Amino acid sequence: MSTAERPLLEQVRAALAEAQFDPTHSSDIFLRAAAEAALQAALPTAVIAVAGRDDARLPTARFLGATYRPDLLVELDTDRVAVGLTLLRTDAGPLAGALARAVVLSQQLPVATVIVDRRIERANPFAAPATQRLHPHDQATMDYLGSRHRVVFVVRRQAPFSFGK
């Protein structure tokens, strides 16, 4: 299937899955720059708006007084996809905001949510070998949001002090 035949949301998800998020940089600016570079490489004709630089072009969604905006907006022809970036450093607290933003924005346009997980887990000497797979309940929630709300996820587990995917 050519990229022209694939929906923009799936193309954005695939590009973000290949993004190189450098663990030595953890501010929003560096996460946005890495995501933008991956998107431009995969979708050279797309127009990409970035929070902090192109705020006037980013859509705004409101729910009960809270305002949500994406970190990036990808536009290709008449299609648009919002991108949210969330970094987990020490706990899962930021996930609530990431989920809220994705669901509220999805009422206007499809959303790709990237979660870069740099939490250090304690080693359990009795545990089975670590896997990169998600818990079945997490995957079920992601599948539900994808089918009902046009929200896709890219979850990247990354050691906080080593470069890599």
CA dist 140 to 69, 114, 145, Å? Answer: 25, 17, 9
In DSSP terms, which residues pair with 63 in a beta bridge? 66
Continuous segment of H or E residues that includes residue 28: helix 28-42
pLDDT band at 165 (very low <50, low <70, confident <90, very high): very low
Q: Give the SS3 label for residue 50.
A: strand
CATH code 1.10.10 for 8-120+131-157: no
Domain ranges, ordered by start, for the chain: 8-120+131-157
Identify whether the C-beta of residue 102 lies closer than 8 Å to the C-beta of residue 79. Answer: no
Q: What is the pLDDT of residues 95-129, one digit of tens each?
A: 899 999 999 999 999 999 988 877 766 555 555 55
Nearest in space to 85 (alpha carbons), one of 134, 51, 42: 51
Asked if pLDDT for residue 2 goes beyond 50, the answer is no
